[in-house]
A and B are shown apart, each in its own frame.
Chain A
Amino acid sequence: MVFSRVQSLDWRLAFCAIAAIDLVSVAACRPSSQPSAQALTLRIGVQRTVEAPRVITNILYTDPLFAIDWHGRPALRLASDFTWQDEARTLQVSIRPGVQFHDGTPVTAEAVAEVLRQQERTGGFQFVTTVETPHEGVVLIHLSRPDAFLLDAVSGTPIVRVDQPDIGTGPFKLVSRDPAIRAERNGAYFRGAPGIRQVQVTSYDTPRMAWVAMMRGEVDMVTDVNRESVEFLRGAKRFDTYPFLRPFYIPLVFNVRNRILRNVEVRRALADAVDRDEIVRSAMRGHGQVAEDPLWPLNWAYTPAARHHSFDPGAAAARLDAAGFPISAAGADTMPSRFRIRCLFWNKDPQYERIALMLQRQFAAIGVDLELDPREQRLVEEGITAGDFDTYIYQLASGKSFDYTYRFWHADSNGVGAMQNTGYTGVNDVLDRLRASHADAEVRVAVADLRQRFYEDTPAAFIAWVEATRAVNSRFDVGDSTDPDMLANLWRWSVATPQQRAAR
């Protein structure tokens, strides 16, 4: 009996030991609730251009008084409120209380005013006369004339310490700029502490190099993935892709000074001869949206135009005939055509070449000989600036409101600086009216008129809006994945939980 008691005891002990070991093992194998240090650093890869690193850096460590949202409305940031006064000649901005710069100094009205005073009197600041702070927390910007684009200019002005421009108020504090831009979390950020501890921005010579770096695991995000490369990622678990429509469009811009293109009927005919759907489908592989004009279609004031150019080669041909451009016989080395025009485009992007070839074929169908002239990007820009072109294909920014539209399509520099040199003046008056409009109803009417003018006196065949794709390592949760401003809302990102990753 004693022996059997000992046996039972041994079994119980063994069982308890095994159970204890199992519990310890399970506990040890359970995934840690704390993400590793590496997971808390977001590494972004961008193409080395003038704008891209600067834009992203500003997103990281600065805030403006307000930002223009995806629908062209100002969203408050460091400003808690703003009102137009004095018949839109004065903009009163209230500064959000309690916000500090990264070094702990408070963001005061005077600090803000100093930044604004330093801005060049161009663009949206063109008509600013004075900036004053009548009392704490309030900034008054006085204008010589009403200018709705002041808000765009102010939204594009990061508020930093004037004496130390690397100190801002943004969700991340700038730590270094070289060799890569590094920024660390600002735990006291007024909109909420970011979920990511550190951000690192690395520039690459080409988008492909940034993309390959992502494939190799050297970066966690690429801000703009090549459209074809998106195919690679379909179904991959390591990355999530976020397509969005960018406020950039691709036009075939006409040089109105050209003796042929000076004729509005020719331009309208050419605009009617473009099969935009096919270009989006074939040359852009579906990563785009047909453009009717250069106005951002998501803007709050954008309304469907009554008339717009649609693909009608028959009507285009008839229009050309009516305009007095019959088809003449072929030359030794030229096709039979009504006329011949040259088209500049950047030779390094296959998409532009394909668009150009498609346009060439579409124009050939109506008897217009489009001679293609591929060039280096620098030469394309020089040609545009010098007006040395008949047409060109390029990617232009529209902005989410209308200041870029004004800047580009207004013939008179008006202190802005000529961004196009086509000789086009067809929308000057409407753009001026739009600039001076403040009430919503006024703006809507101006926008509608502008759209109509772009149709009737078209300066370009507006082809398509560009769709871009961001790729982010699935380790990160971007908050609202439908938010096209996700990069601007980087402070909302965090390390994804296993449940979030599984749900995707």
Chain B
Amino acid sequence: MAVERRDAAAKGRAVKGITGRFVLLIATAAVLPLLIYGAISVSSLQRGTEQSVGGGNQKLAKQVAEQIDLYFANNVRVLASIGTEIRGTRLHDWQKQRILVNHVLDFPEFREISLFDAGGRLRTTSRPQGSTTLTIPDSTEWSGQASEFYVAPPHIDNDALPTTTIAVPLPGGVEEPGWIVAEISLEELWRTVDRIHVGNQGYALLLDQGAALIAHGNPDDKESIAGGGRALPEERAIADQARTASAPAPPRIFRNQRGDELQAVAAPIANPRWTVIVEQTTEDAFAVANRLRGQLLAAIGLALAGTIILGWVWGRSFIQRIFALTRVTRAIAEGRMEERVQLSGRDEIRQLGLAFNSMADRLVELQEEIRKQERQAMFGRIAAGLVHDLSHPIQNIGNSCKLIQKMFEDVEYRETFKRTVERELVIIKRVLDDLRNIARPIPLERFPVDLNRTVADAAEAMEQHAETAGLTLRTEPAAEMLVIEGDVFALGRVYRNLILNAIQATAPGGLIVVATEARGDRAQVRIYDTGCGIPPERLGQIFEDFVTTKRRGLGLGLAISKKIVEQLGGQISVASEVGKGTTFVLDFPRTAARPMLVAG
């Protein structure tokens, strides 16, 4: 389960890695140029729009300024002509007054018109009974010049309307020089300013030289005029800049008191020194550009999303085929040789899959051949071993049977015959038992056993063999008790097998030692000899079935020993050096249980 999880996690990481690279590759190749192009386009569009809007509004402001110039010029002309008309004729005062009154009535913007002499004394006025409040220019607050006309700073009248006073100098000639002064309502200027609409949220406003608002095209700001409202600092700044700069000032962007972001341009009026400002919310001014930018960003976003999805789909389809190939490879490695990979497409991956399937087919064939050969070799070995192990006892039984026919009357020979047959049958049975055990689990009984004791018993049993072979057999038990879960008889067989092999491999005078040792929670039995050793090329197969270096036997001894050790939860290993000796190590897990006493 843990392995499965690790595999799944690794697979997931691989999918993400390759898919991610696919996505990145396609996105980079396809979208990056688009992004760069989009960024340049948006930037150009923004700049172009700013210039276009600013330029357009600047032109508009200039047109309005010119209209206002014209407005004053017209009024001045009218006043000048009135002055000429009145002064150039010998009219009675009442006639002059009536002329002025007629002009006041015929030109609604004139509230009052009065004539003064050069010293400022009233000559004639449209007001009844001479009740004028007008004066000639008497302070620097008036803007203008003597060669043209003067304009007083606007003020708010009782009707909460801005009005101003124009004073036109009348040159001397037939008459003394003088002035014609008129109070005019600036209502017409409002209408001029009100008519200015830029987009949906663009307006014009008019400031005097002191930055007081005279007219405002935005209905929500108009009411501030009644309260003597003044321009915002930014509006004042742009007005000042417009008046002082030789070229039109660039548009200025700022926020008004309501938090709207505005773009403003200004155009100065020559006389009076007022300024026209055209403002438009940036949201309105750049609506088209913003919309285009939004569309462009949306298109880029869609393209990016599309390429990501496409890359992901391609990546996954690519990697899935790789994984299919990997899965089948693993299945074959696990022995499921029937697995084959099915890959769609016509590309190299599919070619790889087809080649893989061919390889797997060939592998199966080769495997079958090898199995056949191995089976044949094994059967050959088994047959040879059986012939070898069984022929002697069978022959002995046969010889004995022949003799019994002749010596049946010999009671002693009948006993010898019985002993011979029984002895040979035991050998035959042992050979058959070994054959049976190698093919299936050996029945073992597991209970706590004292390892030192089992080793000692086995060594005692083999003492005679060793003496006969002229060898020294010694035991070196561990100081502490080593208890393992084991089968006493099976363990005894293993020891006897190993000791017998050591006896058979060691020349007389040699040594065989059987030692036990505690290694933490493990117990080890080490059987080493000073025999001829095992060549390295045979060491790897020494525990395989039917492998033997002896003239006799099926070669099952070590295989069965290994099986017994492994069934008891242990491991067996061998180390050997030709000419020096061999060491077999049995490694078992210890148990805390106490060993049972084993009879006999």
Contact = CB atoms under 8 A, between A and B. Distances in A.
Contacts of A348: 158
Nearest to A354: B105
B108 interface: yes
Given A282-B105, A372-B129, A232 B222 contact: yes
B159 A208 contact: yes
Contacts of A347: 131
A237 B222 CA distance: 11
A252 B284 CA distance: 54
B98 A364 contact: yes
A20 interface: no
A202 B101 CA distance: 38
Given A333-B92, A361-B102, A208 B219 contact: no
Interface stretch (B223-231, B412-420, B438-446): B223-231
Nearest to B92: A333
A206 interface: yes
B522 interface: no
Contacts of A211: 160, 226
A348 B94 CA distance: 23
B219 A361 contact: no
Interface residues of B, number: 35
A350 B98 CA distance: 18
A1 B7 CA distance: 11
B128 interface: yes
Interface string B117-146: 000000000111101000000000000000
A118 interface: no
Contacts of B126: 357
B41 to A, nearest CB: 33
Chain B binding surface SS class: helix
B92 A330 contact: yes
Contact of B158 (A208, A239, A354, A356): A208
A373 B8 CA distance: 108
B108 A233 contact: no
Contacts of A357: 101, 104-105, 126, 128
Contacts of B102: 361
Interface in B1-33: 5, 8-9
Interface in A319-334: 330, 332-334
26 contacts: A3-B9, A208-B160, A211-B226, A212-B227, A215-B223, A215-B226, A228-B185, A228-B187, A229-B159, A231-B161, A231-B190, A233-B219, A233-B222, A238-B223, A282-B108, A330-B92, A332-B92, A335-B94, A347-B131, A348-B158, A350-B111, A350-B158, A357-B105, A358-B105, A374-B128, A374-B129
A477 to B, nearest CB: 20
A234 interface: yes
A334 B225 CA distance: 43
A30 interface: no
A227 B158 CA distance: 11
A45 to B, nearest CB: 13
B49 to A, nearest CB: 28
B220 interface: yes
B577 interface: no
B93 interface: yes
Given A335-B94, A335-B95, A226 B159 contact: yes
A216 interface: yes
Interface in B202-228: 219-220, 222-227
Q: Considering residues A231, A232, A238, A364, which has the most beta carbons from chain B within 10 angstroms of its beta carbon?
A: A232
A236 interface: yes
Interface string B176-189: 00000000010100
B263 to A, nearest CB: 22
B223 A232 contact: yes
A330 B95 CA distance: 11
B160 A229 contact: yes
B160 A212 contact: yes
Given A211-B226, A212-B226, A231-B190, A361 B131 contact: no
A228 B220 contact: no
Interface in A340-360: 347-348, 350, 353-354, 356-358, 360
A226 B160 contact: yes
A498 interface: no
A350 B159 contact: yes
A222 to B, nearest CB: 11
A394 to B, nearest CB: 16
Contacts of A282: 105, 108
Interface in A193-247: 206-208, 211-212, 215-216, 226-229, 231-239
B93 A236 contact: no
Interface residues of A, number: 42
Contacts of A228: 159-161, 185, 187
Nearest to B93: A333
Interface of A: 1, 3, 206-208, 211-212, 215-216, 226-229, 231-239, 282, 330, 332-335, 347-348, 350, 353-354, 356-358, 360-361, 364, 372-374
Given A357-B104, A361-B101, A374-B128, A237 B95 contact: no
Contact of A233 (B159, B161, B223, B227): B223
The 6 A-B residue pairs with the shortest CB-CB distance, nearest first, are A235-B219, A372-B128, A236-B219, A228-B159, A215-B223, A226-B159
A208 B225 CA distance: 13
Contacts of B161: 228-229, 231
Contacts of B219: 233-237
A237 B223 contact: no
Given A227-B159, A330-B92, 7 more contacts: A3-B9, A226-B160, A228-B185, A232-B160, A232-B225, A335-B98, A372-B128
A229 B131 contact: no
Nearest to B226: A215
Contacts of B185: 228
Interface string B73-116: 00000000000000000001111001001101100100100000
A216 B227 contact: yes
A232 B226 contact: yes
A347 B108 CA distance: 19
A348 B159 CA distance: 11
Given A335-B94, A361-B101, A236 B160 contact: no
Given A208-B159, A361-B102, A373-B128, A236 B222 contact: yes
B459 to A, nearest CB: 55
B239 to A, nearest CB: 22
A229 B226 contact: yes
A216 B225 CA distance: 11
Nearest to B101: A357
A358 B219 CA distance: 33
A336 to B, nearest CB: 10
Contacts of A350: 111, 157-159
Contacts of B92: 330, 332-333
Contacts of A235: 219, 222
Contact of B101 (A212, A216, A232, A360): A360
B370 to A, nearest CB: 40
Contacts of A232: 160, 222-223, 225-226
B159 A334 contact: no
B14 to A, nearest CB: 16
A373 B129 contact: yes
B162 to A, nearest CB: 10
Contacts of B108: 282
B233 to A, nearest CB: 20
A216 B223 CA distance: 9
Contacts of A233: 219, 222-223
Interface in B367-424: none
A136 B111 CA distance: 63
Nearest to B8: A1
A374 B8 contact: no
A236 B218 CA distance: 8
A230 B104 CA distance: 22
A235 B187 CA distance: 16
A236 B223 contact: yes
Contacts of B127: 353
